[in-house]
Structure 1
Amino acid sequence: MRWFKITPEEFGALLEYQGVACALCGSVEHGGRNWNIDHDHDCCQTKKSCGQCIRGLLCASCNGWRLPAYENGPEHLKDSPLVNGYLADPPYKRWVLELEDSKH
């Protein structure tokens, strides 16, 4: 979590916000040791993140091959409303905005 500049409390709150499920496929099983923190690799091209480009928490399958295959695939095949919706409006950004709004 420290690589992504997110605290364990924030991680847990984001997971709750996502319904304790993968933000992409909706699986309630993480499929590994824990949920994977997805971030925009165009922003931070290493395993570490600036913390601003986190998108959501994904299961091992979505983070390991589903999303990378989609993002790296040919443009004419990038027509999934589910994936495009996740990428355009990631849960982490919605969660942060709701937190900020609740403080005002």
Structure 2
Amino acid sequence: MMFAYGETVAVLRAPLTDAPYGNQQRDWGSASRADSPGWGFAPRASDEAAPSDVPAVIVGLTGYGPPGVDVLPTDRLEVRGDVYEVVGEVGEWRSPFTGWEPGVEVALRRVYITEG
């Protein structure tokens, strides 16, 4: 799928590092950054509620990326200056009738704390 006015986003990918108690965690301070052109976005309603004792806002987007784009469920995307987490698996669109692959669909979310 090609958008006449598609946007370029940055795909952020963090390596795993050792964390306390033998666990591993993503090191976002050492994340790689790769530009990915040709994206389109639509607003997405949140399907989660913030805890009642935390004044937080959860916002989301649905991203439509080009076919073959390298995005993983553990990545983050920088869109219009804001960083979003990828939520769930990356959906690949493919027609069972023609094999046409227009691109991918990615659910994104950003959580930020509001002033109470």
TM tier relative to shorter chain: under 0.3
Structure with higher strand content = 2
Name the TM-score, length of structure 2 as normaliser: 0.21
TM-score for the superposition, normalised by structure 1: 0.22
